[in-house]
Amino acid sequence: MKLRVLYHGNCFDGVASAAVFTKFYLTKINTNDVQVEYRPMMHLPNNLFDYSALSDEGENAIVDFKYCADERVTWWFDHHQSAFLSEADKEHFLADKSGRKFLDVNSKSCCEFIARIAKEKFGFEDESLKELIHWAHIIDEAMYESAAQCVELKAPALQLMQVIEEEKDAKFVEEIIRELTTKSIEEIVASEKIQQKLKPILEKHWKVLEIMKHKAMYSRGVVHFDLIDEGIEGYNKFIPYYICPRATYSVSITKSKFRVKISVGSNPWAPRPRQHNIAEICEQYGGGGHAVVGAVSLPPEDVEIGRKYMKEIIEKLQFDEN
């Protein structure tokens, strides 16, 4: 028998969901000779689903990823608001009688959701998965206790998250999934092969942190960074609040080969809470996002326009401190 698990790629919750589902399936659903395969799924433009990822034999399980109205899909678990690519997909799900397809947009992580359904509906419980579920929950909802927890990356789970998010080789991630069904996170992270992957990732992270410390400018509730000349294309989004805990907002400008990007964020631990809807501000410049975080992208040559927009956005966010 074959089981193929399609999971949200380069995502800690996706990987954790694949591990928890695998253990549940092999314990409660099919204890015979099951050959388990994995496929990472990525969001595609124009609301497309990659049907080539589905197996023609055995079962296909989708976890932490969009619904697919294909008869080959026999299991589905998701917790995303945008779980359906179309109204027809939603109707297909609502008409499902298999009892093996589940959605809960209120679940903080898909991993926790799978574990809950597996327990309530199938009587599956496994103490050894508790730690993984705990961290999937924190990471997927960004419920860190502090900026330091996420920037200093001391917890093995957060180090593993870095590797999962950066890793391009699906086979390597697949090994991590398989190991998560038998070993502790700490044990996996301590292995030579994970340490090797982690080293350059952490070196880059510390370097970016140092540069941002020097570039940080603070005024009236907003910390901002002009990183155009630094060759930094992205950074851990909690670095601004680690450097400047009193900031309510952060605004940065970065440049890659493909675009100039203005990133706008808010500090979950700010002494003065967020008052603005960041998506609405970014929309005024052709960007978008969520209430708490957003971005504006421009063509790579538009550095000066980007700087002008950044200045305006900062002014919109600033407030008088008393």
Residues 257-296, one symbol each (x = binds Mn ion by CB under 5 A, - = not), give ----------------------------------------
How many Cα atoms are found within 13 Å in the side-chain-facing hemisphere of 268?
14
Contact pick of 15, 19, 63, 64 for Mn ion (by CB under 5 A)? 64
CB nearer to Mn ion: give 177 or 208: 177
**Placement of tokens 């730690």 in the chain:** 131
Give residue number: closest CB to Mn ion: 13
Should residue 140 be labelled a site residue for Mn ion when binding is judged by CB under 5 A?
A: yes
Residue range at the interface with Mn ion (CB under 5 A); choices 7-15, 152-160, 214-222, 314-322: 7-15
Should residue 110 be labelled a site residue for Mn ion when binding is judged by CB under 5 A?
A: yes
Residue range at the interface with Mn ion (CB under 5 A); choices 36-44, 140-148, 188-196, 306-314: 140-148
Q: How far is the CB of 111 from Mn ion (least distance, A)?
A: 7
**Placement of tokens 């927890």 in the chain:** 149
β pairing state of 73-78 and 101-103:
parallel
CB nearer to Mn ion: give 76 or 241: 76
Q: How far is the CB of 11 from Mn ion (least distance, A)?
A: 6
Q: What angle do CA 242, 291, 113 make, to 5 degrees?
A: 85
CA dihedral 173, 175, 179, 181 (to 10 degrees): 80
Should residue 78 be labelled a site residue for Mn ion when binding is judged by CB under 5 A?
A: no
**Placement of tokens 């619904």 in the chain:** 67
Contact pick of 4, 9, 13, 118 for Mn ion (by CB under 5 A)? 13
Query: Distance between CA atoms of 212 and 43, rounded to whole angstroms?
Result: 30
CB nearer to Mn ion: give 59 or 64: 64
3-state secondary structure 13-53: HHHHHHHHHHHHHHHHHCCCCCEEEEEEECCCHHHCCCHHH
Residues that bind Mn ion (CB under 5 A): 13, 64, 110, 140
